[in-house]
Amino acid sequence: MASLDDAGGFQVLAYSSHAGHRAEIVRALGTHPAPDVEVTVTETATAATVISILDHKGADLVILDGEAAPVGGMGLARQLRDEIDPCPPLLVVTARAADAWLARWSRADAAVARPLDPFELAETAVRLLRERHPGPAHGPNSAIATPSGTSDL
């Protein structure tokens, strides 16, 4: 998806097999992770649905739970890089900061660790959206600094 949706916001896809983890991501991200950025989050519990949505509707950002089962978010990220063209930015939520190397293996664009910090998740998501979709409010002068706990991959 190369543009804003009809409501003027970005489409974010949140994947986790655990409903509580999806809800945590949605709460942490909110609907306005930055004053000039609006997002609509679609939640899904299965890898097959992630692939179907990306094949048919697309998304501006995909947030993947690295601990999802039976298909983990890191393995799914690697698969999406191979199968979806163009692949939207991928943000992996890891169980701990030390798992950042696994997120790098998965070819994700960034990773954040649990426990989720809403500011860190929002800043990372906005940075990835602005990098992929530059525009008047998303130009190089409005780039967000990478928070210290975030892994740029």
Print pLDDT tens along the chain (153 aa): 433 344 569 999 999 999 999 999 999 999 999 999 999 999 999 999 999 999 999 999 999 999 999 999 999 999 999 999 999 999 999 999 999 999 999 999 999 999 999 999 999 999 999 999 887 554 333 333 333 344 455
Domain presence at residue 96: yes
Domain presence at residue 26: yes
Domain presence at residue 33: yes
Q: Are strands 39-44 and 61-65 parallel, antiparallel or unpaired?
A: unpaired
Q: Is 62 helix (H, G, I), strand (E, B) or coil?
A: strand
Domain presence at residue 137: no
User: How far does CA 132 lie from the centroid of its chain?
Assistant: 12
Domain presence at residue 144: no
Range of the domain at 36: 10-131
CATH number at residue 121: 3.40.50.2300
pTM for the predicted model, two decimal places: 0.85
Domain presence at residue 3: no
* Count of domains forming the chain: 1
